[in-house]
Structure 1
Amino acid sequence: MTKTIGLTGGIGSGKTTIANYFNSKGIPIYIADIEARKIMQSQEIIEALKVIFGTSIFDGNILIRQKLADIVFNDPEALKRLNGIVHPAVKKHYEDWLLEQDSVPYIVYESAILFENDGYKNFDYIISVTAPVQTRIDRVMDRDAISQEQVQKRVDAQWSDEKRISKSDFIIENSNLEQAKLKVDQILKILKIKQKES
């Protein structure tokens, strides 16, 4: 039976980098944000977004992600409506993908909002990736070319590291990537032992 690992962390914590390291160890990964972006290009989702948010967030049929982000990160109700459209579609896509992974011992599902939408309850183990808030802010400012204030709004919209840690089986501190990779290796050894015991 394939064990499912939920991997989460705040914006800029480097959780996708950690997910990719798991992948380099032969573990299939599902990165919810990347899959959501693909799904948001489907005609069905585009039509639903136009109904709720209007056509100003589109250039023709191309979603202007920054315009949508500006709306939803300033309005919790708008974020809820967006999640109500996208999350069910991603959930269905993930469930179909998971059925194809039945020959592997583990998969990793990476998502920023495992706890916020109660998705964490669907996994055998939860790993939280952490990093100091200022490090995370600096990373996102560099990555997305946005202001500190914009990043802070996104940080504030998510759970704190402390809250995530309290509900996680494993923690990976990701200030130093080499040390974070060593922690992944340790976790994989522990999981191997647990698998033999079960």
Structure 2
Amino acid sequence: MTGQKVVGLTGSIGMGKSTVAGMLRELGVPVFDADAAVHELQGPGGALLGAIEAAFPGTTGPDGVDRQKLGAAVFGDREELARLEGIVHPAVAAMRGAFLRENAQAPLIVFDIPLLYEKGGHEGLDAVAVVSAPTALQRERVLSRPGMTAEKFERILALQVPDAEKRARADFVIDTGGALDETRQQVAGIVKALERAE
């Protein structure tokens, strides 16, 4: 376990974080995806369905959590959101702990955490890599998503730490504004640098 580096991967919506996470996996780097963990816990047969249904009646069904109903139940209500987080966060932390144990021999592991700075998840990491792209490209990517509107995009951005601040606080910035091969080279360079660093 000694010498293992734990890196946080983050970036605002539409910056290309999922693409970069995929590139890391291609390089053999284990990536823990916090969002995927939540989807698994809240999906069909998910481990948290009982607890969520008990706390927020009518928000789950055979397909797992009804995200719209649950969203409506907690949106804009700090206490209810805190209650939901009190159910979800410990379960995600347990999955992260299991992931760490399974990958104890890996020289480098990555935690893919969308709201890393917003939720204080950067504590205890060896480094943070922020995925970034020019604002116009980010906007174009996000607005091309199904069901996305300019208003929705602005609301999401308002809840996220600004890209410039994320870049300023990061140990590494991965620019996804160019060709995929350029991004892939940046990712490979960062992996090499981290695996070499003791």
Give the TM bin, normalised by the shorter chain: 0.7 to 0.9
The TM-score, its normalising length taken from structure 2, stands at: 0.84
Q: Is there any run of 5+ residues in structure 2 with no aligned partner, and where?
A: none
What does 1:1-198 align with in structure 2 at a 5 Å threshold?
Answer: 1=2, 2-41=4-43, 45-55=48-58, 57-59=59-61, 62-69=64-71, 74-75=75-76, 77=78, 78-176=80-178, 177-194=180-197, 198=198
Once residues 156 and 107 of structure 2 are traced to their aligned partners in structure 1, the CA distance between those partners, rounded to angstroms, is 34
Q: Is the Cα–Cα contact under 8 Å of residues 13 and 129 in structure 1 kept in the other structure?
A: yes
Structure 1 residues 140 and 83: CA distance shift in structure 2, 3 A? farther
Q: Deviations over 1:97-144 (max 9, x none)?
A: 111111211111101011222221121111011123443333233334
Q: Deviations over 1:11-30 (max 9, x none)?
A: 11111110110110111111
Which region of structure 1 is more displaced relative to structure 2, 113-122 or 15-24?
Answer: 113-122
- Report SS of the residue matched to 2:169: coil
Query: C-alpha displacement at 1:82, in angstroms?
Result: 3.1
The TM-score, its normalising length taken from structure 1, stands at: 0.84
Once residues 166 and 100 of structure 1 are traced to their aligned partners in structure 2, the CA distance between those partners, rounded to angstroms, is 33
Once residues 50 and 168 of structure 1 are traced to their aligned partners in structure 2, the CA distance between those partners, rounded to angstroms, is 38
Once residues 111 and 184 of structure 1 are traced to their aligned partners in structure 2, the CA distance between those partners, rounded to angstroms, is 17
Greater fraction of residues in helix: 1
Q: Is the Cα–Cα contact under 8 Å of residues 16 and 31 in structure 1 kept in the other structure?
A: no
Q: Is the Cα–Cα contact under 8 Å of residues 7 and 111 in structure 2 kept in the other structure?
A: yes
Structure 1 residues 61 and 23: CA distance shift in structure 2, 3 A? closer
Q: Is there any run of 5+ residues in structure 1 with no aligned partner, and where?
A: none
